[in-house]
């Protein structure tokens, strides 16, 4: 009796088990079949790629350090491969020539996923001389501030908030014609937090929730985070736009700034937080990473100092015009951007028309991803790719903007600023900001690691966004002219 009961129970359990395995297998088979079914009229299939799990696709593999996984797949499936996140098809491009063919030459079908609405007009709305003046002023203030807070090199400091505020002020001046004093300003704290959070939320993995109807219904930290972030950004930056509006209504004479331009032109589209923040983040990361990396390489720092002393001397600060005569520092910046790209997986493009490229079908509404990680670590293009070696760029006198427009994509310096229509439109401005910030810091200080607190270059918080773990360095003035900077 008991024996037969337990036998029935046993067989019921087996049946259940078999049934669920069968359903699961069928599910996989159906999913696999529906994925592979995609072909163009001539029968060309979509590029090959990892299969992933049913329903969620490759999502579970991409939640942490996704660039490593995306890189591994590029080695396995080649420079053009596909992957699914839920029911959204992504195509990953990891080769300079294919990238040029697809994002630039074939550019018309690839619309940026979100309109970069304000950028092109943003810059034309501002006078070149004012942009220039703003950037120079802020770079000078950065030197004074690091000197003051670091008690002339006596105390180790975390340069992050200072560099962040510098970049924030540049952005605020151009956008709203305001600037902040001191890192304690609540706006600085807020903006720094927002831009770090923004870094945390960008990249294909966070966008996943936009594409995955299923996950959208499952409470998901990244959706909640993205929503909170968006809300906070609207409150912070939207509040600033309102301030400008109120001042304009009172009849104040407000110099040309992006907010005024947008308000005057009655544009429905608001100032794009995305562009503004990208701009801000680009410099912040460039500046912060440099301040992180330089102290870890004393011999590189010594060479940079030698070059500055020889070309500029101590009597004046380096200028934009000096850049061509300071190839080593120019090279350090390029190498930082190559090694420490804040957005390894770029900003995705969406293609709006189907096409077939080299016998591979790319359906409409595919998200195209530029795999900067693999591009930046190509051992043929960059021998010893994981080493930090500014020398590799020593003969590259192009700005990154010029480099992005070179005919031969194999000669491009790096892809940190993106590609095609999605290329960071604020690039020229960002490059100048980065150049002045970094050359000023190097001119003024010898940066030293704090004993017992070695700099951790490997870890970062965030997912696709990269920002270094908090660190402290001593900013030791190199000569007596530093205190006179004003
Ligand atoms: C998705 O990507 C777009 C464009 O890259 C970006 O503007 C948006 O903020 C991303 N979404 C999330 C939730 O991060
Ligand atoms: C740069 O140019 C010099 C002189 O032409 C050459 O000797 C050197 O190998 C080049 N360096 C690199 C990294 O290309
Ligand atoms: C970024 O994400 C990491 C990991 O989830 C988290 O620990 C960190 O606090 C986040 N940073 C910000 C500023 O949100």
**pLDDT (tens digit per residue) in 158-183:** 887 888 788 778 777 777 777 888 77
Q: Report how far apart the first and last C-alpha atoms of the chain are (Å, whole number).
A: 96
Q: Is 180 left (phi over 0), alpha (psi -120 to 50) or beta?
A: beta
Position 109 confidence tier, pLDDT thresholds 50, 70, 90 = very low
Q: Mean pLDDT throughout 278-306?
A: 71
Q: What is the pLDDT of residue 4?
A: 54
Percent of the chain predicted with pLDDT > 90: 22
Enter the tokens of residue 483. 């205190």
**395 CA from centroid of ligand 2 (Å):** 6
What does pTM read for this prediction?
A: 0.77
12 lines ligand 2 (CB under 6 A): no
More reliable by pLDDT, 207 or 12: 12
Q: Quick one: which atom of ligand 1 is closest to the CA of 348?
A: 5
Q: Whose CA is nearest to atom 2 of ligand 1?
A: 207
Between 231 and 14, the higher pLDDT residue: 231
Name the closest ligand to CA 189. 3
Residue 191 Cα to ligand 1 middle (Å): 18
pLDDT, residue 119, reads: 47
Does 104 have pLDDT greater than 50?
Answer: yes
Q: Which ligand is nearest to the CA of 224?
A: 1
C-alpha of residue 225 to centroid of ligand 3, in Å: 10
- Give the tens place of pLDDT for each residue, 31-75: 665 555 688 888 889 999 887 776 667 766 676 677 888 899 999
How remote is the CA of residue 321 from the centroid of ligand 2, in Å? Answer: 23
Q: Please choose from 189, 192, 200, 229 the residue to mutate so as to test ligand 3's pocket, defined by most ligand atoms within 8 A of CB.
A: 200
pLDDT of 422 strictly over 70:
no
Q: Which helix (H) or strand (E) holds 468?
A: strand 467-468
Q: Where are the beta strands (DSSP E) in 230-276?
A: none
Q: Which atom of ligand 3 is nearest to the CA of 465?
A: 1
For domain 118-343+378-485, which CATH number applies: 3.40.50.1460, 1.10.1510.10, 1.10.540.10, 1.10.630.10?
1.10.630.10
**The pLDDT value given to residue 125:** 54
> Does position 473 have pLDDT exceeding 60, yes or no?
yes
Query: 237 pairs with which residues across the strands?
Result: none
The mean pLDDT value for 422-437 works out to 73
Question: What is the percent of the chain with per-residue pLDDT over 70, rounded to a whole number?
Answer: 65
Ligand 2 binding pocket includes 394 (Cβ within 6 Å): yes
Report the alpha-carbon distance of residue 486 to residue 481 in Å, rounded. Answer: 10
For residue 272, pLDDT beyond 70: no
C-alpha–C-alpha distance, residues 102 and 108, integer Å: 9
Asked whether the predicted pLDDT for residue 1 surpasses 50, the reply is no
> How much is the pLDDT for 40?
82
Q: Tell me which residue has its CA closest to atom 8 in ligand 2.
A: 395
Highest average pLDDT, of 123-132, 286-295, 316-325, comes from 316-325
Instruction: Judge contact between 340 and 285, C-beta under 8 A.
Output: yes
Nearest residue by C-alpha to atom 14 in ligand 2: 395
Q: Is the CB of 395 under 6 A from ligand 2?
A: yes
Q: Is residue 392 lining ligand 2, measured as CB closer than 6 Å?
A: yes
| Residue 394 alpha carbon, nearest atom of ligand 2 | 13
> Who has greater pLDDT, 233 or 335?
335
Distance 355 CA to ligand 3 centre (A): 39
Band the pLDDT of 413: cuts 50, 70, 90.
very high
Could you tell me the CA-to-CA distances from 441 to 42, 56, 173, 263, 374 in Å, in that order? 58, 46, 21, 37, 31
List residues near ligand 3 (CB under 6 A): 193, 196-197, 200, 461-462
Give the residue ranges of the annotated binding site for heme.
424
Nearest residue (by CA) to ligand 3, atom 5, is 462
Of the candidate ranges 95-99, 147-151, 206-210, the one whose mean pLDDT is the lowest:
206-210
Q: Whose atoms come closest to the Cα of 418: which ligand?
A: 1
Binding-site residue positions: 424
Q: What token pair was written down for 83?
A: 């992957």
Mean pLDDT over the full length of the chain = 75
Q: Supply the residue whose CA is at minimum distance from atom 7 of ligand 3.
A: 461
The pLDDT score that the predictor gives to residue 150 is 87
Taking CA atoms only, the protein residue closest to ligand 3 atom 12 is: 197
Taking 90 as the threshold, does the pLDDT of residue 389 lie above it?
A: yes
Q: Which residues, listed in sequence order, are joined to residue 356 by a DSSP beta bridge?
A: 361
Q: What is the mean pLDDT of the segment spanning 401-409?
A: 86
- Mean predicted confidence (pLDDT) in 249-263: 75
CB neighbour list of residue 193: distance below 8 Å, 6 or more residues apart: none
Q: What pLDDT, on a 0 to 100 scale, did the predictor assign at position 25?
A: 62
Closest atom of ligand 3 to 461 CA is: 3
Q: Give the closest ligand to the alpha carbon of residue 223.
A: 1
Q: What is the DSSP letter of 89?
A: E
Sketch the domain layout of the chain as residue ranges. 118-343+378-485
């Amino acid at each position: 009796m008991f024996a037969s009961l337990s036998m029935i129970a046993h067989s019921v359990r087996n049946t259940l088990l078999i049934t669920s395995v069968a359903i699961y297998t069928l599910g996989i088979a159906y999913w696999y079949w529906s994925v592979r079914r995609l072909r163009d009229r001539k029968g060309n299939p979509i590029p090959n790629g990892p299969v992933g799990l049913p329903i969620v696709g490759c999502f579970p593999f991409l939640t942490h350090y996704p660039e490593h996984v995306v890189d591994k797949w590029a080695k396995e499936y080649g420079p053009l491969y596909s992957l699914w996140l839920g029911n959204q098809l992504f195509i990953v491009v990891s080769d300079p020539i294919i990238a040029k063919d697809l994002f630039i030459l074939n550019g018309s079908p690839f619309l940026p996923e979100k309109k970069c609405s304000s950028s092109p007009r943003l810059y034309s709305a501002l006078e070149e001389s004012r942009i220039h003046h703003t950037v120079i002023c802020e770079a000078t203030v950065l030197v004074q501030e690091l000197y003051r807070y670091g008690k002339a090199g006596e105390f180790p400091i975390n340069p992050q908030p200072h560099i962040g505020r510098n970049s924030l002020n540049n952005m605020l001046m151009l956008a709203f014609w305001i600037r902040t004093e001191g890192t304690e300003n609540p706006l600085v704290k807020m903006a720094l937090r927002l831009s770090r959070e923004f870094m945390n939320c960008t990249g294909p993995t966070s966008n996943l929730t936009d594409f995955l109807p299923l996950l959208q219904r499952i409470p998901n930290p990244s959706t909640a985070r993205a929503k909170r972030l968006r809300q906070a950004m609207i409150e912070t930056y939207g509040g600033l736009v309102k301030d400008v509006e109120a001042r304009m209504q009172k009849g104040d004479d407000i110099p040309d700034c992006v907010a005024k331009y947008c308000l005057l032109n009655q544009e429905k589209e608001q100032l794009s937080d995305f562009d503004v923040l990208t701009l801000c983040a680009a410099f912040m990361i460039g500046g912060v990473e440099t301040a992180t990396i330089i102290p870890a390489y004393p011999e590189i720092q010594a060479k940079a100092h030698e070059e500055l002393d020889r070309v500029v001397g101590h009597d004046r600060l380096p200028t934009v015009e000096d850049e061509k005569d300071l190839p080593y520092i120019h090279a350090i910046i390029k190498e930082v951007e190559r090694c420490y790209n804040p957005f390894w997986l770029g900003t995705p493009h969406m293609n709006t028309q189907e096409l077939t490229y080299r016998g591979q079908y790319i359906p409409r509404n595919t998200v195209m991803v530029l795999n900067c990680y693999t591009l930046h670590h190509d051992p043929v293009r960059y021998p010893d790719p994981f080493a930090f070696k500014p020398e590799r760029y020593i003969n590259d006198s192009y700005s990154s903007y010029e480099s992005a427009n070179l005919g031969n994509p194999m000669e491009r310096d790096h892809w940190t600023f993106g590609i095609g229509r999605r290329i960071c439109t604020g690039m020229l401005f960002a490059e100048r900001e980065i150049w002045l910030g970094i050359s000023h810091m190097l001119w003024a200080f010898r940066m030293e690691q704090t004993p017992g607190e070695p700099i951790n270059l490997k870890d970062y918080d965030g997912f696709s966004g990269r920002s270094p773990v908090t660190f402290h360095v001593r900013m030791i003035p190199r000569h007596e002219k530093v205190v006179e900077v004003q």
